[in-house]
Amino acid sequence: MQRTQSTNGIEVAYERRGDGHPLVLLHGGMAPREYWNPVVPAFEGYGAVVPQRPGFGTCLDDPAETSAAEVLEREAEYARALVEAVDGDPVLLGHSYGALTAVEAATDAAVEAVVAYEPAVLPEGYRAEADLADRMASLIDRGERREAVKRYVEQVLHPDGVDDLDAWLAEWPVWPDCVDLAEEVVRMNRAVERYELPDRLHVDAPALVLTGTDGPEFLRESARDVHAALPHSRLVEFDGVSHTGPAEAPDRVAAEVAAFVNAQ
C-alpha cells in the first residue's frame, strides 16, 4: 500500500496496479476495495489506483461525530488527494456512493474524465420519504447489526426482492465485512439521504454516466438526473446489467470507458 496526505492532513492509503495512465477507482457503500479485483484486468493499459475509502478499514479521528455533510466532503477530499498523488490527470471512476464521491471530487480536481456508474443520488420524491439510515441505526442500537445491514441490501441492492435473501447473503463474499462496517454504512446512507442534487454540477471535465436496465429504477432515474446536471456528459445504459455493473460486466464497462476517453 502506498500512502499520501490530503491538504488537511488526512492520510490516504491506496494500491497502484499497473504503470499505465492512472485510473482512480472509488468503490461503493457496501463493498471493500476488493470489489475492483474482477474489474482491473479489463482496463488493460491503465494503471489502476485502488484506495480504501475512509472509515472502510481506515482510521477516522472521531467517526461518531462525523455529520452527513462531512462524510461526503471527507470522501471527496480523499479522492482529490489521490488525484494529486498520481502523475498526470487521471480518469476518476466511481460506483454507487463512490460515483457520487467522484462527481463531487471532480468539481475541484484536475481529472481527464469522470465516470459515474449509477451515482447514489436519491430522486427528490424518493428522498423525501427516505428513513433507512434511522431504521438501521435503531437496529444497531439494539445489537442487531446483521439485520441493520440486511435492511440496506433489501432496500438498495434488491428492492424487487430475492427468493431467499439469507442464502444469497451466505454466498456473498463481502457480507461479513459489510456487517462489520454497519456504522459506516449508516453514516454513508444518511449522507445520501440528505444530499440534494443541484440543477448544475460544476464539473469542467467530460463525464460519462453509466447505468443498467436491471438495477433499481430509482438509481436509473438518478443516473439520468446526474447526466442532466453535468455540463459535458454522456449517458450510456447497459442492457441486462444491474447495479453491480462494473463487477458484473467489466469488459463492457471498460470498453465504453476507453471509447469515451479516447474520443475526448
**How far, in Å, CA of 103 to CA of 75, rounded?**
11
Q: How far is CA 120 from the centre of its chain?
A: 7
In a domain, 219, yes or no: yes
174 within some domain: no
Residue 87 pLDDT > 60, yes or no? yes
Cell of 46: 491503465
Local confidence band at 56 (pLDDT 50, 70, 90 cut-offs): low
Residue in 41, 30, 33, 36 with CA at minimum distance from that of residue 12: 33
- Quickly list H helices, 114-216: 124-128, 132-141, 145-152, 165-171, 175-180, 182-194
Distance in angstroms (rounded) separating the CA atoms of residues 210 and 249: 12
**Higher confidence at residue 186 or residue 33?**
186
Per-residue pLDDT averaged across 174-192, rounded? Answer: 83
Rounded Cα gap, residues 12 and 54, in angstroms: 8
Q: Residue 254's pLDDT is what?
A: 95
What local confidence, expressed as pLDDT, does residue 59 receive? 41
Q: Average of pLDDT values for 151-160? A: 80
Q: What is the CATH number for 118?
A: 3.40.50.1820
Give the start-end residues of each E strand in 6-63.
Answer: 11-17, 21-26, 46-51
Burial tier of 164 (Cβ tally within 10 Å: 0-12, 13-18, 19+)? exposed
- What pLDDT is attached to residue 58? 44
Mean pLDDT of the 105-134 span: 91
Helices (H), the chain: 68-85, 97-105, 124-128, 132-141, 145-152, 165-171, 175-180, 182-194, 217-229, 245-248, 250-262
What percent of the chain stands above pLDDT 90? 48
Q: Is the model more confident about 179 or about 237?
A: 237
> What pLDDT was estimated at residue 63?
47
Residue 65 has pLDDT above 60, yes or no: no
Residue 162 domain flag: no
Band of the pLDDT at 96, cuts 50, 70, 90? very high
Can you give the pLDDT at residue 178?
Answer: 79
Please give the pLDDT value at position 60.
44
Q: Is residue 172 part of a domain?
A: no
Task: Give the pLDDT score at 209.
Answer: 98
Q: Note whether residue 191 is domain-resident.
A: no
Domain-located, residue 185: no
Domains identified in the chain, total number: 1
More confident residue, 143 or 163: 143
**According to the per-residue pLDDT averaged within each range, which of 28-32, 152-156, 216-220, 237-241 is highest?**
237-241
Please check the confidence at residue 95 and state whether its pLDDT lies above 80: yes
Instruction: State the Cα–Cα distance between residues 230 and 24, nearest whole angstrom.
Output: 20
Average per-residue pLDDT for the chain: 87
- The pLDDT assigned to 159 comes to 73
Look at residue 82 and tell me whether its pLDDT is greater than 70: yes
pLDDT at 135 over 70: yes
Q: Which domain holds residue 111?
A: 2-122+197-262
Taking CA atoms, 250 is separated from 21, 169, 227, in Å, by 18, 22, 21
Alpha carbon of 167 to those of 91, 120, 148, 160: distances in Å?
37, 26, 17, 16
Residue 126 vs residue 64, higher pLDDT: 126
Question: Is 152 part of a structural domain of the chain?
Answer: no
Does 62 reside within a domain?
A: yes
